Amino acid sequence: MCGRYTFTAPAPVVEARFEATMPADAAPTFNAAPSQRLPIITNVEPGKVQLFQWGLLPAWVKDAQKANKPINARAETLTEKPSFRQLLQRRRCLVLADSFYEWERPAAGSKGPKIPHRIMLRSEQPFALAGLWDEWVNRETGEVHPTFTIITTEPNELMTGIHDRMPVILPGREAELQWLDDGGAAKTQLLRPYHALDMKQYTVGSQVNSPGNNDSACAAPFTWS
């Protein structure tokens, strides 16, 4: 599962790295959480960063209030579920990040708290998570609600001791362009665990547990006793 992440890179860095213009209202986030509007790049407009709500609301849903809004989609079953299979074919996106959080469960029999970890590239540079997006239209008002979900895969060696899932980090610009390209090879070949040796992690404090907290303290190293 991927339920929180960060994206704090300055706009000039983002625009150079992803070859896309940033919206004026995009703000850094140290604790991106579901339901928030967050920066993504779609296959339809690859030269533009847009703010979509995290939590997928497919176009075919009739009742938005009652609908499940998945924040993650399992890479292994994308082609088995009709809603995800269609989006894999026509609505893919890059979810922009520079780290993500995951909570380590206490050892069996222990009553200790779940310990949050911050995971990033060794280079500490921004990266793109593989995602799917869609647009739901309110039939009464005509208002369009663009949303997205993050694709997850099995853990690599770094993540194994923390959690049994990890988000799909696309390995560089070529893979990102392949993911956005409507042609080319099967997209599922890109949905693999990232190389563990190119990543690092450290524990952070309990501030990140609440989506109401969104400052640098969320990402600060913290040693749990």
Catalytic residues: 2, 102
> How far does the chain reach from its first CA to its final CA, in angstroms?
25
Number of H helices, E strands in the chain: 4, 12
Question: What is the total residue count of the chain?
Answer: 225
Q: Degrees (nearest 5) of the Cα angle 76, 162, 99? A: 80
* Residue of 12, 57, 18 whose CA lies nearest to 148: 57
- Sequence-distant (6+) residues with CB within 8 A of 173 are none
d(CA 16, CA 136): 31
Tokens coding 10:
């300055």
